[in-house]
Amino acid sequence: MEHWPLRDLVLRTPRLELRPDDDVGLDGLVEAAYAGVHPPEEMPFLVPWTEADPAYLGRGMLQYFWSERARLAPESWSIHFLVRHEGRVIGTQGLTGTDFATTREVSSGSWLGRAHQGVGLGTEMRAAVLLFAFDHLRARRARSDAFPDNHASHRVSEKLGYRRDGTTTVVRRGEPVDDVRLVVGEAEFVRPDWALAVEGVDGCLGLLGAA
């Protein structure tokens, strides 16, 4: 019996490989974060983790991902896929479900190292988890959110068929700002012109409330 079936889960797109986080891969993700994620004058994240003391950023990242892995359960789960391009970890694409067996709804969040932005990889990796959610987990709806000035994230959402679903006021760097909610249903999802290859999904279905 495989006690941690996520070990065997793999998503492959034309350019990328996505696997749930493991300790060796997280070391690569930390390296990608230290190489830079966004310009210092910008803050695309609700939790400003990139502003942590550089002396502790790597340790904090590891502790966060370990804690997410430890609390995973069918009622509440987050899969943090490490995104690899040409064998190198370049970012992460998350997929989250709460009471998924009932709601059939997921949400996503992601980041890419700056050196890999602007060439369509962000769209490709989010399309990968949406294909996984709709076609393999039988999700009905997917949500995302982004600040109004996170233009790259909004472009990805637009390409994939998301629509606005209101806003939430949050605090960013001490100032109120709208967080734009976005949603896409299975029928509205704009599918890419490539097929997703998936391995190891069957053993994960019960763990994710999707059996």
Q: Which domain holds residue 152?
A: 5-204
Q: Which residue has the higher pLDDT, 46 or 1?
A: 46
Q: Does residue 210 belong to any structural domain of this protein?
A: no
Q: How many domains does the chain have?
A: 1
Distances (CA, A) of 64 to 21, 71, 122: 11, 11, 22
pLDDT in tens, 91-106: 999 999 999 999 999 9
104-199-131-45 Cα dihedral, nearest 10 degrees: 80
Instruction: Tell me the pLDDT of the chain averaged across its residues.
Output: 97
Q: Are 179 and 168 in contact (CB under 8 A)?
A: yes
The torsion angles phi and psi of 35, rounded to 5 degrees, stand at -75, -15
Query: What's the rounded mean pLDDT across residues 70-88?
Result: 98
Q: Does residue 174 belong to any structural domain of this protein?
A: yes
pLDDT of 2 reads 85
pLDDT in tens, 150-180: 999 999 999 999 999 999 999 999 999 999 9
CATH assignment at residue 72: 3.40.630.30
Q: Does residue 18 belong to any structural domain of this protein?
A: yes
pLDDT band for position 83 (cuts 50, 70, 90): very high
Q: Does residue 124 belong to any structural domain of this protein?
A: yes
Q: Does residue 179 belong to any structural domain of this protein?
A: yes
Closest CA to 20 of 95, 110, 80: 80
Q: Does residue 211 belong to any structural domain of this protein?
A: no
Distance CA 102, CA 74 (A): 11
pLDDT of 1 reads 75
pLDDT in tens, 56-65: 999 999 999 9
Q: Does residue 153 belong to any structural domain of this protein?
A: yes
Q: Does residue 10 belong to any structural domain of this protein?
A: yes
Task: Name the token pair of 163.
Answer: 């629509």
Length of the chain (residues): 211
